[in-house]
Amino acid sequence: MRKVSIAVIALLVVAGQLAAQPAAPDPLKARTDAHRGDFDYLLGDWEFTADSQQYGHFGGRWSAMRLGDGGPILDEYRVTGDKGETYYVTQTLRAYNAYKDRWELVGTDGGNGLQNVGTGQRTSDEMHIEQKFGVGTPNPSTLRIRYYNIAADHFSWVADRSTDGGKTWKKGFQKIEARRIGPAREIPLTVPQSQPR
């Protein structure tokens, strides 16, 4: 009986020591925290000029904001004419997936629903994205996008394009130079957090 009592006491001591140790850090939370700011450079309002192998020289506005407290990023990319008229507009939602350790993107294009899907990865001082456009249309394409020269007041963007599922690529298909015209902002939660009763 005495051996059983000593074994139980030893077991309780070990269990108490284990319970007193700090919990292991949550790797998903750590990964999310590490990547939360990957797209912060894009937040705010931008004016851009672009050169495209398909559309020539054009310009427009680009705005991005964070949704809620630490939420995903919503941006609107708008190609405009000399008088401010809109020629093309798309919105993209960018959310980090800690399970897959990557950013996931989905965009809208006119009345075509959610179709422009992609993934992104921050690599030191650049952001790399591969995104499909025009899915379900007669002319789908894939862009490999690289954001670089990222600074508080400007960034550069270049995309290679494939129209054959990635077998061949047109290098430098489109290039963008963007300069900041408005500060970063956040859309607050629309429903206030509940107050204790």
In sequence order, what are the residues at sequence separation of 6 or more whose Cβ sits closer than 8 angstroms to the Cβ of residue 32?
A: 96, 98
What CATH number labels 33-183?
2.40.128.20
Return the DSSP state at 38: T
Mean pLDDT in residue range 156-178: 97
Residue 173 and residue 159 in contact, taking contact as beta carbons nearer than 8 Å:
yes
Burial of 122 (0-12, 13-18, 19+ CB in 10 A): middle
**pLDDT tier at 18, thresholds 50, 70, 90:** very low
Rounded mean pLDDT of the chain?
86
- The ranges assigned to domains in the chain are 33-183
Q: Is the pLDDT confidence value at 101 over 60? A: yes
pLDDT value for 2: 55
* Residue 146 to residue 144: CA distance in whole angstroms: 7
Residue pLDDT, tens place only, 20-48:
555 667 888 888 888 888 999 999 999 99
pLDDT value for 180: 97
- Looking at residue 167, its amino acid is K
- Looking at residue 73, its amino acid is I
**pLDDT tier at 89, thresholds 50, 70, 90:** very high
Closest C-alpha among 159, 194, 183 to residue 66: 183
pLDDT value for 14: 42
